[in-house]
Amino acid sequence: MTDEELVDLVCKGETRRFEELVQRHQDAVYSMALRYTPERSDAEDVAQEVFLRAFRSISTFRREAKFSTWLYRITYNLCVDWARKNRRGRFTWRTIEEDEEIADGRWNVEAEALSKSAAAEIRRAADRLEERYRSVIMMYYYEDLSYEEIGEILGVQTKTVETRLYRARRMLRKMLKGGSGGYDR
């Protein structure tokens, strides 16, 4: 049964079917939340809130995108809200080495081949990026989402995602080469 078929059943009153959606997507939602929060307990709280909000607003799911994309949008928004309240807009970047529980096969092979110190340097540089650039880097490389999915989650055009990713890579390259790391838009 597809996610959309389960959504239809939930909307028709078979609310227990929502548990199947939770089981299908809980690892991905938790993984994304864990990348934005410093503690597992915070990620668990965010993930729980994601599913509560999704359940409460499931009737508003318009099927313009996949259910998983809609759920990622909720997750992203709650993560950004959490970061604003608790980290003054700065995100926490994790690696497989830092938290093996989230090693779900979505890790970028190139990043994994880097030494730990180089990976840490990249994370520090990425953390200095503005949120709009940092989010596309995280979603593309860490969450393995397509340009289209990222655009739907962020509510921007696919071309905007492509441009932001290009600029983020350029800024990271400049920072890592010892440049000022400025935002040359």
Give me the residue spans of the domains in the chain: 1-90, 105-185
Rounded CA separation 115/106 (Å)? 18
- Return the minimum-mean-pLDDT range out of 15-19, 36-40, 51-55: 36-40
In whole numbers, what is the pLDDT of the chain averaged over residues? 80
**With respect to CATH, is domain 105-185 assigned 1.10.10.10?**
yes
Mean pLDDT calculated for residue range 4-17: 92
Residue 45 has pLDDT above 90, yes or no: yes
Other Cβ atoms less than 10 A from the Cβ of 8: the count is 16
Residue scoring higher pLDDT (157 or 142): 157
pLDDT value, residue 81: 86
Task: Provide DSSP, 42-103.
Answer: HHHHHHHHHHHHHHHTGGG--SSS-HHHHHHHHHHHHHHHHHHHHSTTPPPP--TTT-GGG-
User: Of 65-69, 158-162, 176-180, which one has max mean pLDDT?
Assistant: 158-162
CA dist., res. 44 & res. 148, Å (int): 27
- Name the band, by pLDDT with cuts 50, 70 and 90, for residue 36: confident
Q: 1-90 in CATH: which number? A: 1.10.1740.10
Residue 161 scores a pLDDT above 90: yes
Confidence band of 64 (pLDDT split at 50, 70, 90): confident
Query: What is the pLDDT at residue 116?
Result: 57
